[in-house]
Amino acid sequence: MTRLGCALALLLVGIAARAAEPGAVQTPSIFAPVSAPSEAIADYAALVIGICGAIFAVVVALIVVAMVRFRARADDDGREPPQVYASNQIELAWTVLPILIVFVLGLVTARTILALQKDERPEGWLEVTAIGHQWWWEFHYPEYDITTANELHIPLSQAEARRPTFLNLQSQDVIHSFWVPQLSGKTDVVPNRTNHMWMEPTQPGLYVGQCAEYCGTQHANMLLRVVVETRDEFERWVERQQRPAVADASLADERALFERTACINCHQVRGTLADGRFGPDLTHLMSRATLGSGVALNNRANLIDWIAHPDHLKPGARMPAMQLSPAQVERVADYLVSLE
Amino acid sequence: MAAIDGPAPGVAERARSRGWTETLHDWVATVDHKKLGLLYIGAGIVFFLIGGLEAAAMRWQLAFPDNDALAPDTFNRLFTMHGTTMVFLVGMPIITGFGNYLIPLMIGARDMAFPRLNAWGFWMFAFGGLLLYFSYFGSTGLYGAGSAPDVGWFAYAPLAGKAFSRGNATDYWILGILISGFGSLSGAINMIATAFTMRCKGMTLGRMPLLVWMMVVVSFLILIAMPPLTAAQVMLLFDRFLGARFFDTQAGGDAVLWQHFFWFFGHPEVYILMIPGFAYVSEIIPVFSRKVIFGYAAMVAATVAIGFLSFGVWAHHMFAVGMGKGLNIWFGAITMVVAVPTGIKLFNWIATLYGGKIRFRVPMLFCSAFLMQFLLAGLTGIMLASVPFDWQLSDSYFVVAHFHYVLIGGLLFTIFAAVYYWFPKMTGLMLSETLGRWHFWLFLLGFHLTFTTMHVQGLLGMPRRIYTYPADRGWEIWNLVSSLGVVFQAAGVVCFIAAIALAFRRRVPAGDDPWDAWTLEWSTSSPPPAYNFAERPEVRSRRPLWDQKHPDDPDWKYE
Amino acid sequence: MSQAVVSAQDTAPRDWTRGQVGMLSLILAETSFFGVFLVAYLFYIGRSLNGPYPEDVLELPLLATGCLLASSATIGLAVRELARERVARFAAGLFATVVLGGAFLVLTALEWQRLIVDHGLTLSTNLFGTTYYSLVGFHAAHVCIGLLLMIGVLALAVRGHVHRQHTERVDLLSWYWHFVDVVWLAVLSVVYVVGV
Ligand code: HEA
Ligand code: HEA
Ligand code: CUA
Ligand SMILES: [Cu+2]
């Protein structure tokens, strides 16, 4: 089964061809799984596709044969063909056969559901709370007391030391859906309730996905990046995130400017006056590769663009343009760039 | 009428102007089931062109990555209006229209049971549709946050609530659909009452044409499934205008409740749309195979079974919302069970072909393509019903591919078949066979280019309802091909419109029974007179005209 | 097949008339409509974040229920009288129905007044208010429609326009009224019994 899955995966990913250069984004094909649940789904999917494909082939063959064999010929004698009204045996046959197929498919489905929607968590699991906002993601690691946005870092899970990640999914506003195809199936993020999903990645790398439930204007740019790291890398990342924001003495003025603008009502930078909760935590902004949940690369130029008019990169974004002068924008950007 | 008060015009002029206004008056004030049927179908086709243009605009935006042909909100409005239009203003009126037109003729009646209710229903539908489109002009509202609704065709709460959807756009969506729904409801009441009480002599339930049977089942589905949508929309309206809390998550309201209500309507709705397609096929395939439908009783039973099952599967649209294992297993399994009665139908049609002498005229071409496309669409449905697979596929382009395969490959192809098949009866004129073939092949090609590829986009992780996508995801080529297909579809649609326009210019008479068919509508003239039948017919079998044409070997000997 | 002009034959004798089938269809659709409001009510029982809660403010409306049930009986009797062309008795029965239905509405109004004024419960107070007023309100709206129709028939009857041949139509009206009655029983058991 896995082989059939792999073949399909190769086919699909292969046609979408791109050499897997390091750093390049992979096509988020569901047939290129790198995590326990998505692998189980890919295998199961291959089985379902196999069964449906077989049914398709047989029935299409029947249709084509009937149409070709019984097409009216040019030399037709004009007489009506024999009229056949019904046959109970035949009806019975094509009722029972599908019932059997459905029965088998139903059992396999039930088994797969039970295997994937499981309640018990192995020793050493990591808890992350993901909160959907219009239109970005917030991530909390209760174990480590860190908060970040849009780019989720999770550790590799190895056979000898399993470390699957379990997500608690919550929403701040409307319904979203967390979907990183290579890591797991999607689960909706519903206000007023906490949903759960899990991932158990087996290969380090960057995996992309995005919000999969229509949630308003910028649903298309509610992108997700999940960085799967080895144990050590992950621990280092955690350690860095736990530190308060960099306080570069040479940027004290810039920092003061930032603290005087309304940014601080919506953003948090730990160790400063900024403790807003409405927008993404900026404490370690520069540890993220992208801005605005994936709409642009995170660099000084784009930051300036973003701060001056968020609408430019992400029309409709819930962050207002703050009406700063170009010079002020540059200085705020200078400060932000220091937030390693 | 209009000429009465004015200064007396010349006689000829007067006749002309009276002719014009009188024709208009005839159509507006009509209670005749045939005229109303044509009005429904005509309005549906007009809305189809509009919805199709909206789709073309979306495909233009999606043809290239990072495209900015359309602003995000414009795109979001387009798919909302496209989906809403196609389901409520194209599918529903066309099936109601054919039901209206054909049921009385097929059961030998002179009109529907409640002609005035029928007319009221049509005008409510038309008003609702226009109201929805008026939102483009009228819904700017207090915040200037207006224009057309942009909440998707299923308007999930709380996105459609006051807090996240300001202005009046969503109200237009609610009211437009709610009002046009009265058309479907009154149509359903009418069809049931007509089929149950107005059949001609000898037409027992067991001798009703399959089309009538299936429309009766559809009508029951409408009666049970539409009101929940109306009720849910009323709740949303209360939330939006009166401060009620039904879907207010701040006050403890539940966002998922709307989904349950919507899909309790929404799933039966898709069978409401598909079963009439089955109905046309069940009339057309036998005639062009020159054989009686195989397994009439099984067909009726399967339709009824689909009807019942359709009320037990709604949550298969919600596998990703975080239901428990038990519910997931139940809804997955019961959804798959639908394959059984649907399979019975498909196999019966194939058996009807088998041993026949198939004439591939245009209606039959569309039916042939339907058989294979619906098969594939149904099987992708089974994949979606396979819960863990759906956790990947839900809300991806795979779903978009699935439902366009059923709605176009299934429903729209059968509607085209039905138009080519019954147009001669409705107008007395033949449609051009050549243009029909161009229409068929172009549309077939375009359809497969556009939608076969969408399966792949879905498997490659592309979610639906995104107005743009980055260039690095490996989706570009598929989207481009998808968009190219629209060109061929549009060309096909142009041929279709041209065929209709040409028919009225060329005026090739069709005769009463151009296809050598067997049901009662072909026994009266084309187009049928206002009273349908000079004498009410009397039947002894399911195929009265077969009996007439083959007195030596009539059906009633075998049934 | 010999008659050329067929009018009586247009409705061949059947067990059901088209009016009856139509009314039953309408009732089916309405059942489905109320079903959704009932489900919403049941679903939200005990989920209000703040008071007033049903157990604190609702009282079993026995009198109103009695009125409505009685009105079903009176309209049934009235139709029977009409079938025998006893128009005066028919009108009296119908009048009694209108009075009983009116009493039901007044009692509902009083209850609402108590809830709104004394307990401050409105449509937007909490989930209970939302579901309660919409469910009970839609039922009351149906009572109003029924009353208006009956008042119309009553006016015609008083002027002598209603006769035996109209029995079927009036009977259909009574079906509708019985339906409204049954809906009330459902509302009663959900709101006043299960919900408190
Ligand atoms: C005409 C409309 C129509 C029809 C007929 C169907 C038919 C079916 N649909 Fe589809 N569906 C839609 C319209 C339709 N659907 C729409 C519009 C949506 C999306 C709504 C939205 O989100 O916007 C949707 C979405 C949808 C979903 C939700 C996907 C998601 O959002 O996650 C699912 C999941 O189960 C599903 C399943 C099915 C199944 C199992 C059938 C079955 O009825 C198919 C049965 C037929 C066959 C299986 C083929 C013939 C049978 C045989 C040859 C017998 C042998 C076969 C076997 C034994 C398997 N559909
Ligand atoms: C019956 C139903 C139906 C039909 C027929 C169609 C037809 C088409 N649909 Fe649609 N579609 C839906 C029902 C339907 N759709 C629904 C329910 C949704 C979900 C909406 C939602 O998510 O809320 C959807 C969503 C949907 C999407 C997904 C949007 C998204 O998720 O972002 C796309 C994208 O490509 C699409 C494309 C198309 C195309 C290209 C056609 C083509 O087949 C159209 C072909 C027609 C034409 C191209 C018109 C040609 C017109 C002319 C040539 C004009 C001539 C004019 C004169 C002569 C005056 N549709
Ligand atoms: Cu969040 Cu779509
Ligand atoms: Cu469905």
Query: Is the pLDDT assigned to residue B261 strictly greater than 90?
Result: yes
Q: Which of B117, B193, B245 sits opposite C21 (nearest CB)?
A: B193
Residue from B500, B535, B469, B543 nearest B61 by CA: B469
Query: Is the pLDDT assigned to residue B139 strictly greater than 90?
Result: no
| Chain A residue numbers touching B383 (CB-CB < 8 A) | 45, 48-49, 52
Structural contact between residues A291 and A152, judged by C-beta atoms closer than 8 angstroms: no
What is the reported pTM? 0.94
- At residue B17 the predicted structure's pLDDT band, cuts being 50, 70 and 90, is low
Q: Which residues contact B403 (CB under 8 A, 6 or more apart)?
A: B270
Q: What's the confidence (pLDDT) of residue C95?
A: 96
DSSP-based three-state secondary structure for A205: strand
Q: Which atom of ligand 3 is nearest to the CA of A213?
A: 2
Q: What's the confidence (pLDDT) of residue A322?
A: 86
Q: What's the confidence (pLDDT) of residue A16?
A: 46
Query: Is the pLDDT assigned to residue A19 strictly greater than 60?
Result: no
Average pLDDT, chain B: 92
Chains C and B touch (3+ CB pairs under 8 A): yes
Average pLDDT, chain C: 91
Q: What's the confidence (pLDDT) of residue B144?
A: 53
Structural contact between residues A190 and B256, judged by C-beta atoms closer than 8 angstroms: yes
How far from B348 is each of A16, B80, B322, B342, B417, CA to CA, in Å? 40, 37, 39, 10, 19
Residues C79 and C87: their CA atoms lie apart, in Å, by 10
Query: Is the pLDDT assigned to residue A5 strictly greater than 70?
Result: no
Residue from B538, B431, B533 nearest B34 by CA: B533
Q: What's the confidence (pLDDT) of residue B124?
A: 96
| Chain A residue numbers touching B386 (CB-CB < 8 A) | 44-45, 48, 105, 109
- At residue A75 the predicted structure's pLDDT band, cuts being 50, 70 and 90, is confident
Query: Is the pLDDT assigned to residue C10 strictly greater than 50?
Result: no
Chains C and A touch (3+ CB pairs under 8 A): no
Q: Which residues contact B42 (CB under 8 A, 6 or more apart)?
A: B97
pLDDT in tens, B63-84: 999 999 999 999 999 999 999 9
Say yes or no for a CB contact (<8 Å) between B456 and A12. Answer: yes
Q: What share of chain C in percent tops pLDDT 90?
A: 87
Query: Is the pLDDT assigned to residue A10 strictly greater than 60?
Result: no
Partners for A (CB, 8 Å, 3+ pairs)? B
Neighbours of C117 (CB within 10 A): 9
- At residue B354 the predicted structure's pLDDT band, cuts being 50, 70 and 90, is very high
pLDDT in tens, B209-235: 999 999 999 999 999 999 999 999 999
Is residue B55 lining ligand 2, measured as CB closer than 6 Å?
yes
Q: At what angle do helices B296-309 and B339-353 cross, to 10 degrees?
A: 160
Say yes or no for a CB contact (<8 Å) between B382 and A105. Answer: yes
Query: Is the pLDDT assigned to residue A20 strictly greater than 50?
Result: no
Residues B418 and B103: their CA atoms lie apart, in Å, by 14
Chains B and A touch (3+ CB pairs under 8 A): yes
Residue B501 per-residue DSSP state: H
Structural contact between residues B247 and B255, judged by C-beta atoms closer than 8 angstroms: yes
CA angle A196, A199, A204 (to 5 degrees): 150
- At residue C152 the predicted structure's pLDDT band, cuts being 50, 70 and 90, is very high
Ligand 4 centroid, distance to B445 Cα (angstroms): 27
- At residue B533 the predicted structure's pLDDT band, cuts being 50, 70 and 90, is very high
pLDDT in tens, A284-305: 999 999 999 999 999 999 999 9
Provide the number of CB pairs (under 8 Å) joining chain B to chain C. Answer: 124
- At residue C11 the predicted structure's pLDDT band, cuts being 50, 70 and 90, is very low
Q: Work out the average pLDDT over B184-205.
A: 94
| Chain B residue numbers touching C179 (CB-CB < 8 A) | none
| H helix runs in C5-126, sequence order | 18-44, 54-57, 62-83, 87-113
Residues B219 and B217: their CA atoms lie apart, in Å, by 5
Ligand 3 centroid, distance to B152 Cα (angstroms): 13
Neighbours of B3 (CB within 10 A): 14
Shortest-distance ligand to the CA of residue B153: 2
Interface mutation vs chain B, best among A213, A223, A313, A318, most B CBs within 10 Å: A213
Please spell the DSSP secondary structure of B281-348, one letter per residue: HHHHHHHHHTSPPTTHHHHHHHHHHHHHHGGG-GGGG-TTS---HHHHHHHHHHHHHTHHHHHHHHHH
Query: Is the pLDDT assigned to residue A17 strictly greater than 50?
Result: no
Structural contact between residues A147 and A281, judged by C-beta atoms closer than 8 angstroms: yes
Is residue A226 lining ligand 3, measured as CB closer than 6 Å?
no
CA angle A215, A219, A220 (to 5 degrees): 160
- At residue B86 the predicted structure's pLDDT band, cuts being 50, 70 and 90, is very high
Residues C193 and C187: their CA atoms lie apart, in Å, by 9
Structural contact between residues B457 and B422, judged by C-beta atoms closer than 8 angstroms: no
Structural contact between residues A41 and A116, judged by C-beta atoms closer than 8 angstroms: yes
Query: Is the pLDDT assigned to residue A11 strictly greater than 70?
Result: no
Interface mutation vs chain A, best among B147, B357, B457, most A CBs within 10 Å: B357
Hey, what's the torsion of the CAs at B412, B418, B424, B426, to 10 degrees?
-90
pLDDT in tens, B45-58: 999 999 999 999 99
Structural contact between residues B82 and B464, judged by C-beta atoms closer than 8 angstroms: no
Query: Is the pLDDT assigned to residue A159 strictly greater than 90?
Result: no
Binning chain B into helix, strand and coil, the percentages to the nearest 5 are: 70, 0, 30
- At residue A25 the predicted structure's pLDDT band, cuts being 50, 70 and 90, is confident
- At residue B141 the predicted structure's pLDDT band, cuts being 50, 70 and 90, is low
Say yes or no for a CB contact (<8 Å) between B198 and C11. Answer: yes
Query: Is the pLDDT assigned to residue B3 strictly greater than 90?
Result: no
Query: Is the pLDDT assigned to residue C53 strictly greater than 50?
Result: yes
Say yes or no for a CB contact (<8 Å) between A72 and B357. Answer: yes
Range from B18-32, B79-93, B137-151, C122-136 carrying the lowest mean pLDDT = B137-151
